[in-house]
Amino acid sequence: MNEGLLNGGVDWAFIGAKLAHADADEQAAFLATFLRECRAWGTAYQVEKQLAAVNDALSAEDRRALAMLSYEESRP
């Protein structure tokens, strides 16, 4: 990852707000990139542990809303 953009710190609340107003394709690209970067750590276990820690830090309301990200249905 190019950390040159991170020299002054990151305002994650601002980034989250901007992402919320992006379209679905931009949001999906963000999440796919996030997960690809996580997978670069080496093991699925490391990724699962990190996502479990994030899950633990979220409110019940946020966890319910994020459940739609893993919703599966049959596709033709």
Q: Which tops the pLDDT comparison, 73 or 37?
A: 37
Residue 9 lies in a domain: no
Residue 60: which pLDDT band, with cuts at 50, 70 and 90? very high
Proportion of the chain above pLDDT 70, given as a percent: 89
Residue 2 lies in a domain: no
60/47 Cα distance (integer angstroms) = 21
pLDDT in tens, 20-41: 999 999 999 999 999 999 999 9
Can you give the residue range of the structural domain that contains 68?
24-76
Q: Between 12-20 and 24-39, two packed helices, what is the crossing angle to 10 degrees?
A: 130
Residue 11 lies in a domain: no
pLDDT score of 9: 83
Reference 16, options 58, 76, 50; nearest CA is 58
pTM for this structure?
A: 0.78
Give the chain's domain count: 1
pLDDT score of 6: 62
Distance of CA 13 to the CA centre of its chain: 13
Residue 63 lies in a domain: yes
